[in-house]
């Protein structure tokens, strides 16, 4: 009998208490990435609604979004665009600064990564407050991308990120929710 998706993901995602701060339950997908069946199924489930819908690029946030995004782009037969931390890309870039709970960060993309009107799926491993995803979507839109959806393996719904992204007019796809911090 086939494992339910929820059961498979719950078994594959490691929970680390009090990381990076006391009271936080960190959801670590590196164990999912090391589980061939769970990794494959996660990628399959993330891309399923978009198969055959003419996606030009998958854009992944550094670093786990690169792993998921590369696999998704392969399955969708499209290109992959890395969204990196400032100073990591060699050619001309466009960047966005965004707020974190402990300061600010900046992400960037090559200015010529795609063309205006290209249909793009954004992916990252997890959505919590939505800060990284919101900044990524703003960055992609600045270059003229049509954001088809934002995809995540894990949603922490109590932190409001999913709704924050929906309020930007972007559909959100997640595979599993974990409640609590």
Counting the structural domains of the chain, the total is 1
CATH value at residue 100: 3.40.50.2020
**What's the pLDDT at 100?**
74
Q: Flag whether 79 is in a domain.
A: yes
Q: Flag whether 148 is in a domain.
A: yes
**What's the pLDDT at 181?**
55
Q: Flag whether 48 is in a domain.
A: no
Taking the CA atoms of the chain, what radius of gyration do you get in angstroms?
Answer: 16
Residue pointed to by tokens 């090559």: 110
Q: Flag whether 14 is in a domain.
A: no
**What's the pLDDT at 24?**
87
**Residues contacting residue 49 through CB under 8 Å, at least 6 positions apart:** 149, 173
Q: Which residue range forms the structural domain that includes residue 87? A: 54-177
Q: Flag whether 58 is in a domain.
A: yes
42 and 153 Cβ atoms separated by less than 8 Å: yes
Read off the tokens for 84. Answer: 């990196």
How many angstroms separate the CA atoms of 179 and 104, rounded? Answer: 26
pLDDT in tens, 155-177: 999 999 999 999 999 999 999 99
Q: Flag whether 132 is in a domain.
A: yes
Segments of the chain scoring below 50 in pLDDT: 1
> What amino acid positions are annotated as catalytic residues?
64, 101
Q: Flag whether 163 is in a domain.
A: yes
Q: Flag whether 91 is in a domain.
A: yes
């Amino acid at each position: 009998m086939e494992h339910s998706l929820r059961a498979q993901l719950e078994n594959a995602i490691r929970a680390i208490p009090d990381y990076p701060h006391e009271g936080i339950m960190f959801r670590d997908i590196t164990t999912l990435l090391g589980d061939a069946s769970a990794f494959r199924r996660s990628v399959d489930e993330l891309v399923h609604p978009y198969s055959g819908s003419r996606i030009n690029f998958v854009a992944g946030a550094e670093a786990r979004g690169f792993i998921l995004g590369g696999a998704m782009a392969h399955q969708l037969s499209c290109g992959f665009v890395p969204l990196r931390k400032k100073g990591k890309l060699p050619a001309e870039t466009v960047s966005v600064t965004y707020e974190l709970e402990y300061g600010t960060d900046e992400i960037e993309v090559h200015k010529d990564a795609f063309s205006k009107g290209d249909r793009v799926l954004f992916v990252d491993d997890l959505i919590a407050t939505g800060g990284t995803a919101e900044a990524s979507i703003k960055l992609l839109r600045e270059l003229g991308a049509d954001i088809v959806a934002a995809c995540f393996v894990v949603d922490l719904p109590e932190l409001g990120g999913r709704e924050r992204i929906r309020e930007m007019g972007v559909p959100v796809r997640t595979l599993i929710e974990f409640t609590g911090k």
